[in-house]
A and B are shown apart, each in its own frame.
Chain A
Amino acid sequence: MKGNYWKLGKWVLLLFILVAFPYLAGDDFFIHLAIVIEIWVVLVLSLNLIVGYTGQVSFCHAAFYGIGAYTSALLTLRMGFSFWSALPLGAISAGFLALLIGLPSFRVRGAYFSIITMAFGELVQIIFHNWRGLTNGPDGLPGIPPPPTIPLPILSNFVFSEKTAFYYLSLIAALATVLILRRLVQSRVGRAFVAIREDEGYARSIGIDPMSYKLLSFVIGAMFAGMAGCLYAHYFLYISPASFTIFQSFDILLMVIIGGMGSILGPIFGAIFLTSMPEYLHLANEYRMVIYGLLLVVVIILAPQGLVGAAQSIRTGLFAGREKRGA
């Protein structure tokens, strides 16, 4: 009972800190960094569903992110949609593309899927670059409108061109992602994903159809990535193909793996760590990627469960040792 209160207390405290953050941070830069991290959290958790839980390495997450961003940017810019209707449509279009790409590529197992996602990611880049009539090519789309202001009766209005309001919007998106995906991976469907990751043949033998569950995981992951793309587009108000290349896909994957795939906490830690660390250390981009590449190899060889997983097993290892010594 006492343990439960303590647990609840921790969550309330965390929620309080998250809600109060814009007032605690004081500096617009930190709020900006927090918004970027919140968008990354949506991306890493959705990729983690595909890679960490279902065991399918996808290299085109940034393509879904980009599809979401371009869909909602074009809908609001050219067709007068509001942000609130463009957001779900961006997510749906990313999910639909995932379905199209998943259908042929899941026909064969494992590695083929990874390579076809890489090729698909490049194909999306080629289209962003060359379909100038729609995407304006490498120059990108400027002047994307921010979400419309929400008038509030008592408090001040929610003006989304201000950072604080957008912070709350992306906080809600990130928290919703955490809650929905956590719920999903703990459900029967989530256990089917893990069964496929662990042993596809065995999963099939107990009546799990790998094809449809892999597709489900891929499509859900892509939809969340599409949502993250909408947030990105309506926060930065400008998008170009350069934001959705394979290098962004690698970044998302790095965060998932270095933090710890197959858990909820690990990728979140990875997103916070890999986003804020270069800012603190003032790392130039070139050095950053050299270090990340090396870190990825080291983590894979020494601690495939990621930094959070390694920390947890060290902690339980220490406690186990103490208990043994005590007895």
Chain B
Amino acid sequence: MPHEILQHIANGLVLGSTYALIAIGLTIIFGVLNVINLAHGEIYMIGSFITFYLVSKTGVNYFASLLLAIVLVGLIGFLLERIVFRPVRESPLLITLLASIGVSIFLQSLALLVLGPELRRIPTQFGETVVHFWNIALTVQRILIFGISVILIGLLYLLFRRTTIGKAIRATAQDRIGAALAGIPIDRIYGITFALASGLAAGAGSLMGALYFIDPFMGFMPAIKAFIVVILGGMGSVGGAILGGVVLGMAEVLGAAYISSEYKDAIAFVMLILVLILKPTGFMGMEEEER
């Protein structure tokens, strides 16, 4: 029994780390641009398809592909901000939300048209080898998912704390007008924020695409769950997104094991409703400010 629990906790951490990776992107886009980007799941999907094609068609090494996917998707995110979200920046949240829905539908159906609906998996050799420690058995791929997620989150932390760009992003998130007055080019900061968030989602997609099947609709559920994570953790809070991701990942794995695997996906929704009733600002959210 206890070793079983350890196994579930390990699996929950693996799942939770990818939720955190996706949710951080959402939460920084919200924090900096005040945009709810519903196309984030499709960004994740594109990331995993880029890695899939690089690995299976050109034979590029998995890690190099993952890095390339992060860069390429970051570029897509940058362009997306410029083309779609910049023109509607001064509009209310409602309008930007609807614009992102349009992007989401467009990218998803374009992927369906171009790539087809069949299920694929990123071919790696890490899925077969199993590592045993403390009565836990994990495939190398799962360990990679956790490890690379932690590295990416760590890099983001360093970027935010130690670099000028990071400081500029944090300043813009705190006070856009103040940041602009201090000479921060907020247009460029918006683009960079979108690129960073998209890159993280692409990283998550490339990691998960080697564990589960990928198809054009794969982004939908993780995106909804990442939104729930963002609400659990508190809108705009990176720490909250990490904590929320781990909590949701744990809850899902333990719920599937001890409650019901059919209703595994429902756990996230029940948690969402509970949080909204008990603490609507999330674990780490501040009191909602008037907008």
Give residues in A with beta carbon < 8 Å to B: 51, 55, 57, 104-105, 107-112, 114-116, 118-120, 122-123, 126, 130, 201, 246, 250, 253-254, 257, 286-290, 292-297, 300-301, 304
Binds A, one of B51-59, B126-134, B264-272: B264-272
Cβ 8 A contact of B224, one of A55, A118, A130: A118
**Complexed CA–CA distance, A57 and B36 (Å):** 12
DSSP majority for the B interface? helix
Given contacts A293-B105, A296-B98, contact A111 B36 (CB under 8 A): yes
> Is the beta-carbon distance between B109 and A297 smaller than 8 angstroms?
no
Contacts of B276 in A (CB 8 A): 104-105, 107-108, 112, 116
**Complexed CA–CA distance, A105 and B106 (Å):** 28
Contacts of B273 in A (CB 8 A): 104, 116
B263 at the interface (CB under 8 A from A): yes
Q: What residue in chain B is nearest A51 (Cβ atoms)?
A: B94
Contacts of A57 in B (CB 8 A): 94, 97-98
B286 at the interface (CB under 8 A from A): no
**Complexed CA–CA distance, A130 and B277 (Å):** 26
Q: A112-B231, A116-B276, A119-B228 are in contact. List 6 more A-B contacts (CB 8 A).
A: A51-B94, A108-B281, A111-B36, A254-B105, A293-B106, A296-B105
Binds A, one of B84-92, B137-145, B174-182: B84-92
Give residues in B with beta carbon < 8 Å to A: 30, 36, 84, 87-88, 91-95, 97-99, 101-110, 112-113, 220-221, 224, 227-228, 231, 235, 262-263, 265-266, 268-269, 272-273, 276-277, 280-281, 288, 290
> Is the beta-carbon distance between A122 and B87 smaller than 8 angstroms?
no
Contacts of A293 in B (CB 8 A): 102-110
B104 to chain A, nearest CB (A): 7
Given contacts A57-B94, A104-B277, contact A297 B269 (CB under 8 A): no
Select the residue from B84, B109, B112, B280 with max chain A CB neighbours within 10 A.
B109
> Is the beta-carbon distance between B280 and A297 smaller than 8 angstroms?
no
Cβ 8 A contact of B263, one of A105, A109, A126, A290: A126
